[in-house]
Structure 1
């Protein structure tokens, strides 16, 4: 398996990128429009937030799913029993955000959402007609007026050596949404599972932008765009002493969007949140 690294400015960028998504579930962009300086500032500022006590004032809401999720209540990947070794904060424009972090977070949210919208239109344009006819509405329409697109600020803390046997920073999983937009993290570790079961490092040089298919787009495209299993492995040596900060934007459709005969976006999301153990 080879995840393509595509120059966003290339004339055939959309075609190359969507081919990589179809073949691997992942694509990587360089020379993209997201501001690297803003990404790095968000990493530094939120790392300081996670290292302090103010985060406890923003405990997540079970009803709205915004706010801070501690390592004690973080996700358990579907099919696994050990919680991931991570803590994170859910940023929505309408949700609670620490005041000193709000302006940068919302600026990045808007930039990343605009780019995600464009990339979704690339996917729509390069979907074969026999697959596209299954879309209940154009992909680009599915996200109009959505309040559910989520910016997650993730911190994988340094390892202590006392983690439960078999636990990972992020166990193998698929994302729930349509597309995930992810600037390369400050530390390595992201891997994707190839068709033969082998785990392959995703290109992740600082400044690259990693995009992957989510389960909802896999459902809507009859599996043409695969929601590939991926994970974040535990580092060793000096890397184990460092925090890893990550900033995925999960592009979500409106709740009323019909994905397939089996699911609306709402019923799919509710089912997955229960499976992850973050909603009863």
Structure 2
């Protein structure tokens, strides 16, 4: 029996045959909420440099890293091991991470766009992460143009709704699990909060997606592929026409589970004042309205409290 797999999409074909790409995208995301994105134009060299500098940061002494743990709800800087917990989970996630947001000059248009926090000990972390942020932000905007067309809007629908979103680049380290008393899940089953997520990095096994049949399906990170998934904000906006799929990170079997896992998700957020009320074309007799109106900021705060980043 063939094991189900998450589909891959060639983003370069969007410019060549827009209608065909949008149809492929719609089929992939309505079934899975996830897809691998190939030919995205982000250089392998940049990704390798980003992985190297993040490893250098997470290799710093614990006391050094904790100097960059700020009382800001985890929005910028370092968050230590054992802080975040998936909604309704029994155990904290086995990870540490660093949040990088938009680099703003002058007065930001929204107060949520706070200054970044940079580690003095690894000066190359800042330029590399800002370069990767810029490239992933461009790719996310291209994906949003395709999603807009799929849901019957103009391609530029999201342009003035996500241009100042509090998007986050999250260099992420799952340390080796050598204690048999710890759970075998590095990040508990969850859905992402934001519009869409782009995942760069780990080619190690462990990322799993819950299929519509209720089966956990592993995602193999093919070299050069970036994983893109729908988040809860886009799910709310589209009244589940585009589903936000449950996923988790488990500890790989054998020796792979005794080594660190590194990855870099980019969480594309809507502008704080964007309405997440269901679009009228996504509400039908067969698919009645499933969500109450809210704004992106109010929904984000609700979810951050649930996962322990905001008290």
Q: Same fold (TM over 0.5)?
A: yes
Within the candidate set 120, 124, 132, 1:108 is matched to 132
| Higher Cα Rg, which structure | 2
Distance verdict in 2 for CA 1:163–1:269, change over 3 Å: farther
Match of 2:163 in 1: 144
Does the alignment pair 1:274 with 2:274? Answer: no
Match of 1:85 in 2: 94
Distance in 1, Cα, partners of 2:53 & 2:23: 36
Deviation at 1:17, TM superposition (A): 2.4
Distance in 1, Cα, partners of 2:161 & 2:214: 32
Match of 1:4 in 2: 7
Tell me the SS of whatever aligns to 1:192: strand
Is 1:59–1:69's contact at 8 Å kept on the other side of the alignment? Answer: yes
Match of 1:97 in 2: 118
Match of 1:156 in 2: 174
Deviation at 1:144, TM superposition (A): 1.9
Distance verdict in 2 for CA 1:163–1:31, change over 3 Å: farther
Give unmatched runs, 5+ long, in structure 2. Answer: 104-114, 278-291
Within the candidate set 265, 270, 275, 2:296 is matched to 265
Tell me the SS of whatever aligns to 1:169: strand
Deviation at 1:61, TM superposition (A): 3.0
Is 1:180–1:211's contact at 8 Å kept on the other side of the alignment? Answer: yes
Is 1:184–1:210's contact at 8 Å kept on the other side of the alignment? Answer: no
Deviation at 1:167, TM superposition (A): 5.0
Q: How many residues align?
A: 271
Deviation at 1:168, TM superposition (A): 1.2
Match of 1:193 in 2: 210
Is 1:189–1:233's contact at 8 Å kept on the other side of the alignment? Answer: yes
User: Higher mean Cα deviation, 48-57 or 171-180?
Assistant: 48-57
Give unmatched runs, 5+ long, in structure 1. Answer: none
TM-score with structure 1 setting the length:
0.91
Tell me the SS of whatever aligns to 2:171: strand
Residue deviations 1:15-72 (CA, integer Å, cap 9, x gap): 3223211221011111211111111111122112101123222113325621111113
Distance in 2, Cα, partners of 1:249 & 1:158: 23
TM-score with structure 2 setting the length:
0.82
